[in-house]
Amino acid sequence: MDATQLPPFIQPGDRVVLFDGVCKLCNGWAKFLVRHDRARLFKLCSVQSAEGQAILQWFGLPTDHLETMGYVEGSALLVRSDAVLRIVAQLPAPWRWAAWLRVLPRGLRDWAYDRIALNRYRLFGRYDSCLLPSADHAGRFLQG
């Protein structure tokens, strides 16, 4: 694949998880990935970062509010339950076993996903600003 066809800041072979950097649930998901992605398959990118904003623009998504997590692999973007299931399928067992949920109809999966995503601040809270990666997260975040 020609690198000019890739979203900004994405290199061939990158697998990038876009997440809401002020959402406590989303930050928990990012920390979960850092802890369980022992093979370091995924790079993390806050949608509030310059890199995240550029990627959202490239895919034609809103840059001021994104009600879903995104997963970028090459020039493809997955969102909602498809993104979550594609990510967990690449994690070691037992986490990859959750990918069997793919057998459920997408409409049902996305309905459940949306119930949590649309209420995430009320249910889990939010930070006043994006959290900065800690030293143990070195190399785990997409950087321009």
Q: Write out the DSSP string of 36-48.
A: H-TT---EEEETT
Report how far residue 58's alpha carbon sits from residue 30's, in angstroms, rounded to the nearest whole number: 22
Q: Is the pLDDT of residue 14 over 70?
A: yes
Confidence of residue 128 (pLDDT cuts 50, 70, 90): confident
Report how far residue 139's alpha carbon sits from residue 64's, in angstroms, rounded to the nearest whole number: 26
Confidence (pTM): 0.89
Report how far residue 111's alpha carbon sits from residue 116's, in angstroms, rounded to the nearest whole number: 9
pLDDT, tens digit (0-9, with 9 covering 90-100), for 61-83: 999 888 889 999 999 999 999 99
Percentage of the chain lying above the pLDDT 70 cut: 90
Can you tell me whether residue 122 is helix, strand or coil? helix
Q: Is the pLDDT of residue 2 over 60?
A: no
Residue 116's nearest CA partner among 68, 62, 57 is: 68
